Amino acid sequence: MKNHIPRIASSEITPEGVYLDRRQLLAAGFATAALGTLGASTTLAASPPALAPLTAARNQAVSTSDAPNSYEDITTYNNYYEFGTGKSDPAVEARDFKPTPWSVTVDGEADVKGKFTLEDILKPQVLEERVYRLRCVEAWSMVIPWTGFSLASLLQRFKPTSKAKYVEFTTLLDPKQMPGQRDAVLRWPYVEGLRMDEAMHPLAFMAVGLYGKTLPNQSGAPLRLVVPWKYGFKNIKAIVRIRFTEQQPRNSWQIAAASEYGFFANVNPAVDHPRWSQATERRIGGGLLAKRAATLPFNGYADQVASLYSGMDLRRYY
């Protein structure tokens, strides 16, 4: 398949006025860190925390036309083992999590390294909205309107060297705030990684919000990865470290169960999970009796990303 990189029309670029409004909105939110949001000053509800709006134009060139799931679907059915192994655990256990202040450490094979506040990360970024399909290895799927920015635009700021073949991401380690980390269900902290060409692909995305608001805690606040052609466990949440490496990182699920979860984790209906088929999926929100649909190779993004894996045996490199 040819590698088709969508061209973004000028009409899809965020207008300067909208951009400045967004910058002012975020600045107000950072000035009131005790509110635990990325956006404008607002009152913190006892449960769950209040979320501030984010202004961003939709990038239609890379967005699916599929209807999004409801906000309730997305925020009450989560895989986030730092807050529990049950799908409903994160929405409850993450209510008191504090996503501000926040910083990200950048190191490894790059010319620009150091500890950067979230404000530093966001300053040069123009936020946009992208509606992406997400497919989880348990054979359920969802459609979410994310707000964020290109992963490549972030990584390029750190000037990775020629030795940087991979980029590794790490989640916050804080058992006091993340009760799931008190159990040895995984090796903590959570680690994920991408090959550099995957990370620089136009579809790879850093999200700071969804449904036009800042990310809820259970969805990975304040900063998470979204790689729509891979299974959901690749989409690491609450990122505190970005490391450029020459060697392939050992991601958490590969360490925990290498026979079930590989490094690449590309959505592939032809490769079954050892305990269930990946050939079909069901959309969350419809219950266990919801009609199943055929799983699409690369989650429907094959035209854009299949060339990244030309010549690879995707049954071996799962």
Q: Where are the domains of the chain?
A: 10-15+55-309
The answer to whether the CB of 122 falls within 8 A of the CB of 214 is no
Q: State the average pLDDT for the chain.
A: 87
Decide: residue 53, CB within 10 A, 0-12 exposed, 13-18 middle, 19+ buried: middle
Which residue would you say has higher pLDDT here, 34 or 264?
A: 264
Report the residue count for the chain: 318
The answer to whether the CB of 131 falls within 8 A of the CB of 63 is yes
Mean per-residue pLDDT, 113-124: 96
Q: Does a cis peptide bond (omega within 30 degrees of 0) precede residue 189?
A: yes
**pLDDT score of 48:** 62
318 has pLDDT over 80: yes
Name the CA radius of gyration of the chain, rounded: 19
Q: Does a cis peptide bond (omega within 30 degrees of 0) precede residue 222?
A: yes
26-39 confidence digits (pLDDT tens): 433 433 332 233 33
CATH superfamily, region 10-15+55-309: Oxidoreductase, molybdopterin-binding domain (3.90.420.10)
Mean per-residue pLDDT, 8-32: 37
Q: With H, G, I as helix, E, B as strand and everything else as coil, classify residue 225.
A: strand
